[in-house]
Structure formats: C-alpha cells, structure tokens
C-alpha cells in the first residue's frame, strides 16, 4: 500500500479515538512528523455567529512564549476578512507563505511581526472544512524555508481533511457542555441571590461566579439615579492598583451622565456590549471614568444593562487589562446573570431605603438631642461630621457669620477635614471677610431652602469668590449652603462640600434642612457663650497687660512682656513702637522687637536717615486715626511713594501692618506697629482687642518715657557733675583737653576736637587746645593750620558765636561749595565729615568755641546736643581760668625775665664796679690820643659798629665805655664779653643764653649777653679769639638782629650796638683763614686804632699823676707826686704792657711808698729784645706773643700772692679781674701750681 494511503488510514483510525484538544494536538503532530513536516502547529477555528477567528490549538514553543506580546496575540480574535487571513484561506490546496515577504508589506499585522520575531520564516496553511463549511485553518510553522513537492503538499492536505471532522466534533461537544454549565450557573445564582438583602453580600457572590468563567479583573455595578440622567456606583470591586489611586474616590462616588457614548449605548443595547479602550481614547470627548481606567491599565470594557420589571435600573461593569473575546455561550450566560442581578439590585435598594429612613429618623433625633447640649465649636463640628456622614457622603463642612454693619461674611467654624484648612490664602480671606454681595452668600441668605451649587461651573467665572476657586483647585465639585436664622433673621450660613457632583440628593437636602434649623440654635448658643467668655477673657487680658506693663518700666522687660502678650493674640513677625520727640517733625523707633535681618537693614538705613519724616503717609495717618489702621505693604510699596522703612520691612518679609496711635489724655505720644508675614490674618475681633491693648501700652510707654526722662536728667546731672569735678581738679591744659575729649566722646563719635579762643584786638580766632587723630597729627599741613589765625567773620565761626544751641556743619557740603575756611577744608581732608560746634561764653560774652569733628554723620541724639551745651559751659569756665592763669604766668614770666635781667645787670654792674677805673675818660694830651678822642666823638652818637684795635693795655675798654656813655644808649647797659676768657663750649651760651635742660648742667634758663644788652651796647673784647662756629652765629645775630637761645625754638629780637676790640691784626687773620672775612667786614664799619704808651710818652706824666691820686686815695696814703728820677726812668722804659703796666706799677709804688713822693720804682729788668707793637711785626725782630706775656704776668702776680686768687690781696683783686675770668685765663694759658 502506498505511504500516503497508509498514513491517512492510520490517522483516520487515531482520530476516531480523540478525547480532547490535547489528544488531537498530539495526533496531528505525530502525523505531520511521519509525513516529513514540522510539528510546530497552530489551529484556528471560525466563530460564524460572531464572524471572528480564534486560536484553538497552539504548540507551546519556548520562543513564542518568551515574546512580550504573547498574551495579546494569542488571547484575542481576528476578523476573517483581514488580508492575511484571506490569503491563508485556500479551500483547494495548501498555501505556502514566505514570512520575509510578508514583512515587506506596507501594513504588517502584529501577529505576522510576532511570527517573525519568533524566528518563523515560512508558514503552510491548510483550510479545514466540515460538510462543505469552512471551520478553520491548520498552520504549520517552519524556522527555515523548505521546498515541497506537490505530492508532499497533497499529503498534508489529506491530513487536514482528516482532522477537520475531529475539530468539528470537539467544538460541538464543547457547545453542549457550555450550555449545561450556563443552566447550572444561572440556577445556582438564582438560588443564592434569593437570600441577599444587602449589597455587601452580593459582591462576593458575583465575584465567585465571574471568576469561574474567567471573566474580567475589575467589577462594578451602578444604578440609574432618580433624575434618569446620571448613574452612581452601588458596588465597586476594583483591583488594588485602581483602588489606591488618588482619583479613585472621585470617580467611585461621582454621578456620571448617561449620555456619554458608553452608558447610553449599553442601556439601548439588547445584551452585553464590549468596548476597546484604545479606540475609546480616540473619541473627541472621553468619559472621565474611562480615561481613569485606561490610565490605570484597563484596556477592555464589557458592560450589560440590569433590568427589573421591564425597567432598566443599572449596569454591570466588567473591566480587563487585556482585550478579550467571548463566545456565544459566555454572552448568553452574562445576559442571564444580568436579569437575575437586576432583581437582586432592586430588592437591595428597597431594603436599603427602608433602613435609611429609619436610620435618618433615629440620627436626626439623636442630632437634635446632641445639638441642644452643644456649647463649643469643636462639639458642633464633631456632631456634624459623625452623625451627618452616617446618612450621606460629603467631604467637609463649614459655618460662617454675617457682619451686617460691614456687609462682610467671615468664618465661624472651619472643618479640619477641609483640604483648604491650612491654606494661608483661605485663612487670610476668611479673617478679612468676604463681601456679602458675592452672588452666592446674598442669594443663600435670602433663600428659604438649601441651595446646591456646582463649584466646577462657578469656578469657570473668574469673578467668583476666592473660596470657590480654592475648593475647585482641591477637587471639591459641589456644595450646599443654607441660611441660619433666628428671630432677627438670617445671621449666617451652613455649608457642606462634596468631591462628586450630585452627592446631595433631594432626600439629603431634606435632612440638611432639618439639621440646619438645629444648627442655627447651636450656633446662637455657642456665640452667646463665646461672647461672655471673650468679654471676660478680654477684661482679664487687658487687666493682666495693664498690671504687667505698669510695674515694668525697664525697656527690655517691657518689650519682652508686650511681645509675649501680642504673640498670644496675633501671629506677628515683629513690632515697633515709634515716637515723635520733636513736636511732630520726625519719628523714630523707640521700643521694638525685630528679626535679625530687619534689625541689620534698619541699622544700615538709619546711618543715612536716623529719623523719618512725620508726614510720610503712614505714621501721620496712624496718629490721625481714632481706630486701628491696617496697611497692605504690597500695595504701599507698589505705588512708589512709601517711606524707606516700609520698603525695608517689606523687603524682609512683612506683608501687612496693624497700627494704632498711642494716646495719653487725648494726646498722641506715638504709635504701635505690628508686622505680619501674611496678609488677611486678622479678624475684626482681633482688631477690636488690639485697640484695647494699645490703651494699656500707651500707659506703659508713657511711664517708661517719664522714668527714662527722670533717669536721663539724673544721669545728665551726674555726668555734668562728674565732668565738672574732673574739670575743677585738672591742673593743666593737657588734662583739660583729655577730659573734654572723654566727655564729648561719650556723646559723639568724636574724631578730633579743637578749642579755639578769640583775639579781640585782631578779630581772629586761634587754636588753643587740640585733640587730634594719629592721621591728623602726622599731616604735613598741621603746623601751618594749627599756628594760623583765622578771621571770626568767615560765615562759620561767627554763626557759632551768635548761636544759642550747638551748630551742626556738613563738611561735605561746605567743601563742595568751595568757600569753606581753611581749617574746615583741612579737617575734611583728614577724614572728618560732620562737625558740631558750641560757643564758649563767660558772663554772656563770647570767648571762643569748641569744634567736635566726626567721620560719621548724624550719629548722635538731640539730648546729647543739649548735654554738650552743659559740658561746654563747664569747659568755658576752665578755659577762662586757664587763659587767666596763662596770662598771669605770662606776666610772671615777664616779671621773672625782668628780674633775671636786673639780677644779671646788677651782677654785671657789681663786677664792672670792681674792675672799673675811677674816671670815665681816657687821660692824655698827646696828638695820637687826641685823634682817638676825635674819632670817639664822631662815632658815639650813631649806632654804627665800632672795631677798636690796639695792644693789650692801651685802654680799648675805656674807649668803648666812652663811646657808650656818649651815645643815646648811655642809660642802658654796656655789657662786656671777654671772648678770650671763656671756654669755647661756653661762648655761645654766654652770648645767646640757653633753656633749661638744653645741655648737661643747664639746670635753669639763662639769658645771654645779647638779651642783657638789649637797647644798650655789647662790648666784645678779644673778638679775635672767638671760635669759628661761634663767629657764624654772631654774624647771623648782627645781620638779622635776632637770636635763639640754646635749646630754644623761638627767635628773640634784639636791639644791640656792637663794639668789638682786638689786639690782633684781623686782616692778617682773615688772610690766614683764622677769622671769617664776612664777620670782619661786618665789624670793621668804624675802626679806631689806640696808640701804645711808648708812642705817647708825653702822656706818662699825666697818667702817673692820675694813677697816684686814685691809688693813694684808695690805699689811704698821702702820696702826691713822683720824683724826678723815677719819672726819668719811666720815660726811658718801653712799656710793653702799655697803660695797664703803668697803672699796676704806680699802684705797687704807692703801696710801697711811705712819704708823699714816690722816690723809687721797680721797673722790670731790661730786655735785650726791643719791645715792638703787636700791631707791627717787623720780620727781623724776635718777639714774644701776647699770650706768653699775659701768661708770664699772671704767673708773677700769682707768685706774689702765693697762689691766692680770690679775696683781699688775691691775684684777682690785684689784676682787677673777676675771679671767674682769672680762673678761665689760668686754665686757658695752662698755668699750673708748679709755675707759682
């Protein structure tokens, strides 16, 4: 027998034994393998009633099972009219299809793409027919493309023909079984439903039956409402994912309109209706519940209407996350169940209505009883939420009251369950109050019935009240409002809010109406109770505030108490108590509590504006009002003319200010300003209470001001007393300026301080005392500015002198104007920006000023200015005393100077008396001496400088004195300075004087010979011996007619005539560089040369008689004359010591003579050397220097006196020299004891 016939015969035998689909799949796979085909198959059957194809058998291939869209491909049905299935349907012979080619088609079906992704590359299709009716197709899948002969394809067609009969038999058996199951299910459901009277019993039963049929995952039953236009949920059993979604409640309790495209279709259909949500989502208007379910994973609806007594009462909703196809049996079963469910739902609704009415009656009775006992808001809201919510569903409630006087509506009771309970905007608006005529409240107040309003529709109007928009934003869709009334009429409103439109039925409104009447009574009772309590609390609060404030007069404690009391009543951010201390010109913060940010900002602002204008549009408005004033800072700051401090507070978070004037005896003393971070947080009750608090705070502020004024005065008095004591005890101007700096530094940010006094004669002012900064002390212009005199009529200084109050100067403005006095410009350049000036007065007469310079502007108070006046008065006394003391000291100094000068003159005169001759004129009759007399008479009347030249002993000092006595200076001193007798180190001090401490040993100040000789004559003997460094200073003194003491810093004008004497040839000294030429020429104005005695021997007789007379009288001798012999000896002697030698010889001779005639003289032994004049120095002669002569002469005298220098018979007396001068010469000439 051929292989084909054998295979088909075996297949026919096997098919006769088929028990089920699994057995059939095994037989098909075995036959295909035997025929050489793949055993990966798919069997699709046709539902002719629904005109759909569905999967019947499928090889469990792992690759297909792993595909993500496996369920969506295998769990749905397909239309046999699709292009792909039309190609597969080939009743004559098997079809062979290339999947790669199918993938190239323009629109590739999902199941073809599924084949391709499962590695299927070839499909063989065999059409199955039974009794000339196409019942399906057998699909064979190949992962590789195969080539088949016609014979092979005819074999597989024969296999298809054989299995078609088996498939038809299995489908018929399944249909019979399904109908039996449907009947059983409906009988069981009917029996179970008969005993159900509660909706919650129905749900588990319904779930169990639907799960047996593998129906959908989510189940719901809705009922048609009385309006026949909407449906509401009765039973909902959704998947946990949908149940936990935030929008679940909104959709589960909402009333859905019937005419939405889904529900109306179901209600008009004769049986179940399926909806593909993918398609529904494409509709122009998608029902909200459909969008919600789609968003949460549902993709398929199966809805069927529920009937009772030929009337549609509801809908059964079945939902699935995947698309499902139902056979005729399932749809029939679902239709049968819906009929039975309709009856059950009708019974449940009747029973629930009976129970609801009974429950309503009981609850209303209980509510009435509970409300009658309510005295607090909390109890009322608890009753409403617990009792009313047991009757019908709503989200939250609220009660508001109407203020007929202000035509506003404010909250009386807010439900914590409200989604807007913590919304700042609602809290603000409720406390501020809504206008009654808002289109809702006014209508509700006039209505006799409760009004139901659709919030969603109202919110579409932007003019609707803010509470409508707030509730709409939180998902509230419907509200009921009912007027609350008493014997005076409507006084408030009762509100209920729901998240679902249609939540309030006619039946619910009846309940609300009944409860509303009870709530009116409860609200009236609560208000009465609260008013009593509030009045008592207000009284207690105000008494407490008054008590606490009245006994606390310290600022910090007062601020702490006010802050505590205010925070108990208001959600304040900060507060300020401002005052106007200057007769309503300005105002400033007096007591305040500010945040750190505000405090820093205000501190920075007050650096430029320590006080604010009284009429700033805020402060003056508050003080002019009898009631509290509320300011919206957003509005104030937006108009551009708000005060700077308002902008500052607004910038740092303040949005609203509550303010009121503080008054005592109807007089405003300031204002209290409370700042809030949110607007509209104040109720009228709080504003009224704030008014009472302000009265109490007014008393406290007044007490603090009075107490501080007392303390301030005491402090000022104490301060002034302390300053007065300090000033009284100061002993120097340094102490005074230090005390002034410390005192003014406590009142001002002092940088520099100057005390100036007026010179009435010159009409100028000068710096008297200064306290300067380090920068100013080192300023290069300080010496010039400090020592300068300034006119008192400079526009600045004179304005201070005539002022009764301190004068404030802006140094920036003065210097910018370009006409500021130099002292103002100087202090501005060192960093000062403002000055406060005070007049100094004694007995109403201006004596000077105090200038206080500051780097900061306006950093002081008005009180400090007044206090500065008191300090200035004390300083005036001190400055006057010090100036008087300075004047006395100056007078004492002048007296001391004159005393010292007189003492010096007296001492000098005493010394001159000891050394002076007994006659004032030079003795002589020779021609040469007469020439000298002629020169003296010529030069004496003038002030010309005279240079006397001549040998030692020629009488230069006598000639100098003759010149002085013949001059107009004869009544003044002629002071002699022996330049050779002074050590080099002392010549300068001797001439110019020295200050105390200027060098070692300078224990006191001493005036020099120039000062001593002022207005007289200074005789500089032995000028040629002056050191070069002293010559320089002498030349300056002669040229400038002024000197400086050693160690001094001031110049002293002198008027002195100079007579110089020398035994040297100064011209020769100049040529040798030993004497300054310029000084020589300054001295050599009128030279006079004195002749030596050897050149005028004719004068010896006259001189001898002159000396005999003087010394005889002095010694008490009767010597009258000299003998001829001694006279002859004298005429023959060369007289190297000149007249002085003759004088000393005669003195010695008089002392040694016993009679009346000198008969013997003791001339020195003849010297082989020829005596010559020191003024002439012939080159061929060997001469002895004058110093040697002087040295030898002093040694001889010392030997004669046995070394005695001082006292009677001492060398100084014999030489007629001061002992100090002789000491200096001994030291200078190097004379030692051994020489004596």
> How many domains are contained in the chain?
8
Give the percent of the chain with pLDDT over 90: 16
pLDDT tens string 253-291 = 788 898 999 999 998 887 888 898 889 999 999 998 899
Instruction: Check which CATH number belongs to the domain holding 1152 and give it.
Output: 1.10.8.60
Residues 531 and 608 in one domain: no
- What's the Cα-to-Cα distance from 582 to each of 43, 275, 607, 805, 834, rounded to whole Å? 107, 85, 19, 15, 22
Contact 675, 575 (CB under 8 A): yes
* Helices 862-915 and 733-745, axial angle in degrees (round to 10): 170
Q: Which stretches does DSSP call E strand in 1028-1137?
A: 1042-1043, 1052-1053, 1057-1062, 1086-1089, 1121-1122
What was the pLDDT predicted at 1087? 94
230-244, 568-582, 1054-1068: segment of lowest average pLDDT: 230-244
Question: In this structure, is residue 273 part of a structural domain?
Answer: yes
Residue 645 belongs to domain spanning: 552-712
Residue where a domain terminates, one of 505, 535, 565: 535
Quote the tokens at residue 262: 């889904």
* φ/ψ (deg, to 5) at 293: -65, -35
Are 977 and 1029 in a shared domain?
Answer: yes
Tell me whether residue 399 is in a domain: yes
pTM over 0.85: no
Query: What per-residue confidence (pLDDT) applies to 809?
Result: 92
- In terms of C-beta density within 10 A (0-12 exposed, 13-18 middle, 19 or more buried), how is residue 2 classed? exposed
Give domain status of residue 361, yes or no. Answer: no
Q: What pLDDT shows up at residue 942?
A: 92
Query: Which pLDDT score, from 0 to 100, does residue 1183 have?
Result: 57
Average per-residue pLDDT for the chain:
83
Residue 42, domain member (yes or no): yes
If asked whether residues 513 and 431 sit together in one domain, one would say yes
Lowest mean pLDDT among 290-304, 792-806, 864-878: 864-878
* H or E, element range at 366: helix 328-373
Residue 1171 has a pLDDT of 43
Per-residue pLDDT tens digits for 950-995:
999 899 999 999 999 999 999 888 999 888 877 777 888 888 888 8
Mean pLDDT computed over 68-79: 76
For residue 541, tell me if it sits in a domain. Answer: no
pLDDT grade for 915, boundaries at 50, 70 and 90: very low
Same domain, 706 and 737: no
**Angle, helix 150-194 to helix 328-373, in steps of 10 degrees:** 30
| 475 backbone φψ class: left, alpha, beta (φ>0; ψ -120 to 50) | left
Assess if residue 369 is contained within a domain.
no
Residues 577-635 have pLDDT tens digits of 999 876 778 888 888 899 999 988 888 888 777 788 889 889 999 999 999 999 999 98
Out of 113-117, 204-208, 851-855, 943-947, pick the least confident. Answer: 204-208
Question: Which pLDDT value is given to residue 327?
Answer: 63
How large is the average pLDDT for residues 1187-1192?
A: 78
Asked if residue 266 belongs to a domain, the reply is yes
Nearest to 821 by CA among 779, 871, 765: 765
Contacts (Cβ under 8 Å, ≥6 apart) of 1071: none
Q: Are residues 805 and 696 in the same domain?
A: no
Q: Is the pLDDT of residue 1181 over 50?
A: no
1114-1138 confidence digits (pLDDT tens): 888 889 999 989 999 999 999 999 9
In the listed set 535, 570, 594, which residue is the last one of a domain according to the structure? 535
**Residues 613 and 605: beta-carbon distance below 8 Å:** no
Residues 790 and 864 in one domain: yes
pLDDT band at 175 (very low <50, low <70, confident <90, very high): confident
Regarding whether 487 and 398 lie in a shared domain, the answer is yes
User: Judging by DSSP bridges, how do beta strands 95-98 and 667-676 pair with one another?
Assistant: unpaired
Q: Are residues 1101 and 1229 in the same domain?
A: no
Does a structural domain hold residue 243?
A: yes
1182-1195: average pLDDT? 73
Please count the other Cβ atoms lying within 10 Å of the Cβ belonging to residue 714. 10
Same domain? For 321 and 380 the reply is no
Question: Residues 537, 540, 542, CA angle at the centre, nearest 5°?
Answer: 105
Domain of 954, CATH number, reads: 3.40.50.300
pLDDT of residue 1234: 63
- Do 979 and 1045 lie in one domain? The reply is yes
Is the Cβ–Cβ distance between 740 and 750 less than 8 Å? no
Task: Give the pLDDT confidence score for residue 553 in this predicted structure.
Answer: 64
Same domain assignment for residues 1100 and 1154:
yes
Domain boundary (1042, 1068, 1091) is at 1091
Question: Same domain, yes or no, for 1098 and 1080?
Answer: no
Residue 672 is part of a domain; what is its CATH number? Answer: 3.30.450.40
């Amino acid at each position: 027998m051929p292989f084909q016939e054998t295979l088909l015969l075996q297949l026919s035998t096997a098919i006769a034994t088929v028990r089920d689909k699994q057995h059939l799949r095994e037989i098909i796979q075995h036959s295909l393998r035997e025929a050489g085909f793949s055993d990966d198959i798919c069997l699709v059957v046709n539902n002719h009633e629904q005109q759909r194809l569905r999967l019947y058998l499928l090889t469990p291939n792992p690759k297909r099972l792993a595909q993500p869209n496996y369920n969506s491909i295998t769990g749905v049905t397909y239309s046999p009219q699709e292009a792909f299935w039309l190609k597969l349907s080939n009743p004559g012979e098997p079809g062979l299809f290339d999947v790669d080619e199918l993938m190239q088609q323009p629109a590739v079906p999902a199941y073809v793409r599924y084949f391709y992704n499962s590695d299927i590359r070839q499909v063989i299709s065999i059409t199955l027919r039974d009794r000339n009716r196409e019942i399906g197709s057998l699909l064979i899948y190949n992962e590789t493309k195969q080539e088949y002969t016609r014979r092979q394809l005819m074999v597989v067609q024969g296999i298809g023909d054989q299995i078609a009969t088996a498939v038809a038999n299995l489908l018929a058996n399944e249909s019979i079984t399904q109908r039996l199951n449907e009947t059983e299910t409906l009988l069981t459901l009917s029996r179970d439903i008969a005993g159900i009277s509660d909706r919650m019993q129905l749900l588990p039963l319904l779930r169990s039956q639907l799960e047996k049929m593998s129906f959908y995952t989510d189940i719901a039953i809705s009922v048609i409402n009385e309006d026949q236009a909407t449906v509401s949920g009765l039973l909902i059993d959704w998947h946990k994912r949908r149940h936990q979604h935030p929008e679940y409640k909104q959709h589960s309790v909402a009333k859905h309109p019937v005419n939405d495209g889904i529900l109306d279709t179901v209600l008009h259909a004769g049986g179940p209706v399926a909806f593909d949500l993918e398609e529904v989502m494409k509709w122009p208007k998608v029902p909200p519940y459909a969008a919600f379910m789609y968003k949460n994973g549902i993709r398929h609806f199966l809805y069927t209407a529920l009937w009772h007594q030929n009337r549609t009462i509801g809908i059964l909703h079945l939902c699935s996350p995947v698309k499902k196809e139902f056979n005729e049996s399932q749809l029939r079963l679902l239709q049968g169940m819906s009929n039975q469910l309709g009856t059950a739902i009708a019974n449940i609704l009747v029973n629930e209505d009976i129970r609801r009415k009974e429950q309503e009656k009981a609850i209303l009775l209980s509510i009435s009883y509970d409300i009658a006992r309510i005295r607090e808001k909390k109890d009322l809201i608890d009753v409403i939420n617990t009792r009313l919510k047991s009757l019908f569903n709503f989200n939250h409630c609220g009660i508001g009251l109407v203020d007929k006087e202000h035509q506003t509506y404010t909250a009386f009771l807010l439900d914590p369950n409200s989604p807007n309970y913590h919304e700042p905007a609602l809290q603000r608006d409720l406390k501020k109050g809504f206008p009654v005529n808002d289109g809702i409240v006014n209508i509700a107040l006039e209505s006799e019935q409760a009004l139901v309003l659709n919030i969603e529709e109202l919110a579409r109007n932007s003019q609707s009240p803010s509470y409508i928009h707030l509730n709409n934003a939180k998902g509230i869709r419907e509200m009921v409002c009912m007027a609350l009334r008493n014997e005076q009429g409507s006084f408030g409103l009762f509100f209920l809010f729901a998240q679902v439109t249609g939540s309030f039925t006619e039946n619910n409104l009846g309940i609300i109406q009944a409860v509303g009447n009870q709530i009116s009574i409860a609200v009236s009772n609560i208000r009465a109770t609260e008013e009593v309590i509030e009045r008592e609390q207000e009284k207690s609060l105000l008494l407490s505030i008054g008590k606490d404030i009245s006994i606390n007069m310290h600022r910090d404690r007062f601020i702490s108490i006010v802050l505590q009391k205010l925070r108990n009543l208001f959600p304040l951010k900060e507060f300020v108590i401002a005052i106007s201390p200057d007769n309503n010109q300005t105002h400033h913060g007096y007591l305040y509590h500010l945040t750190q940010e505000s405090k820093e900002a205000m501190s920075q602002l007050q650096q430029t504006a320590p006080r604010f204008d009284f009429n700033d549009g805020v402060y003056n408005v508050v003080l002019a009002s009898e009631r509290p004033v509320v300011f919206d800072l957003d509005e104030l700051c937006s108009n551009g003319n708000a005060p700077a401090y308002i902008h500052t507070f607004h910038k740092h978070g303040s949005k609203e200010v509550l303010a009121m004037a503080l008054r005592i005896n109807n007089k405003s003393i300031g204002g209290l300003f409370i700042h809030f971070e949110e607007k509209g947080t104040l109720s009228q009750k709080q504003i009224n209470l704030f008014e009472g608090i302000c009265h109490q705070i007014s008393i406290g502020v007044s007490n603090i001001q009075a107490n501080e004024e007392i303390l301030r005065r005491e402090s000022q008095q104490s301060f002034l007393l302390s300053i007065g004591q300090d000033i009284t005890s100061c002993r120097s101007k340094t102490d005074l300026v230090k005390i002034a700096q410390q005192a003014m530094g406590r009142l001002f940010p002092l940088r520099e301080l100057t005390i100036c006094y007026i010179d009435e004669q010159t009409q100028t002012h000068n710096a008297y005392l200064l306290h300067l900064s380090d920068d100013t002390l080192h300023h290069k212009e300080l010496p010039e500015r400090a020592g300068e005199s300034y006119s008192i009529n400079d526009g600045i200084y004179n304005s201070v002198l005539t002022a009764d109050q301190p004068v404030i100067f802006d140094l920036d403005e003065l210097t910018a104007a370009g006409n500021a006095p130099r002292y103002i410009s100087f202090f501005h350049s060192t960093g000062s920006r403002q000055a406060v000036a005070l007049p100094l007065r004694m007995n109403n007469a201006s004596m000077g000023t105090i200038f206080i310079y500051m780097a900061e502007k306006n950093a002081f108070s008005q009180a400090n200015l007044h206090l500065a006046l008191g300090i200035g008065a004390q300083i005036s006394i001190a400055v006057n005393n010090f100036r008087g003391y300075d004047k006395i000291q100056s007078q004492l100094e002048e007296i001391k100077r004159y005393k010292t000068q007189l003492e010096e003159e007296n001492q000098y005169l005493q010394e001159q008396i000891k050394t002076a001759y007994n006659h004032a004129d030079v003795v002589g009759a020779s021609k040469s001496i007469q020439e000298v007399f002629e020169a003296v008479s010529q030069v004496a009347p003038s002030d010309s400088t005279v240079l006397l030249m001549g040998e030692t002993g020629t009488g230069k000092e006598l000639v100098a004195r003759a010149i002085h006595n013949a001059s107009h200076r004869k009544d003044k001193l002629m002071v002699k300075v022996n330049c050779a007798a002074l050590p080099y180190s002392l010549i300068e001090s001797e001439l110019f004087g020295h200050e105390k401490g200027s060098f070692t040993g300078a224990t006191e100040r001493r005036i020099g010979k120039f000062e001593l000789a002022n207005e007289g004559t200074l005789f500089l003997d032995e000028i040629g011996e002056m050191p070069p460094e002293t010559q320089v200073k002498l030349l300056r003194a002669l040229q400038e007619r002024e000197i400086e003491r050693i160690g001094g810093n001031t110049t002293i004008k002198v008027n002195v005539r100079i007579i110089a004497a020398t035994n040297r040839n100064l011209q020769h000294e100049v040529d040798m560089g030993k004497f300054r030429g310029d000084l020589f020429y300054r001295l050599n104005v009128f030279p006079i040369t004195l002749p030596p005695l050897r050149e005028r021997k004719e004068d010896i007789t006259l001189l001898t008689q002159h000396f005999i007379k003087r010394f005889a009288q002095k010694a008490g001798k009767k010597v009258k004359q000299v003998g001829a012999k001694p006279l002859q000896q004298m005429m023959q002697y060369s007289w190297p010591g000149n007249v002085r030698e003759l004088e000393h010889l005669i003195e010695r001779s008089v002392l040694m003579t016993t009679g009346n005639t000198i008969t013997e003289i003791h001339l020195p032994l003849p010297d082989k050397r020829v005596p010559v004049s020191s003024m002439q120095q012939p080159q061929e002669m060997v001469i002895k220097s004058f110093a040697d002569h002087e040295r030898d002469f002093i040694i001889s005298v010392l030997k004669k006196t046995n070394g005695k220098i001082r006292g009677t018979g001492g060398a100084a007396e014999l030489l007629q020299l001061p002992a100090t001068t002789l000491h200096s010469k001994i030291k200078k000439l190097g004379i030692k004891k051994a020489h004596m």
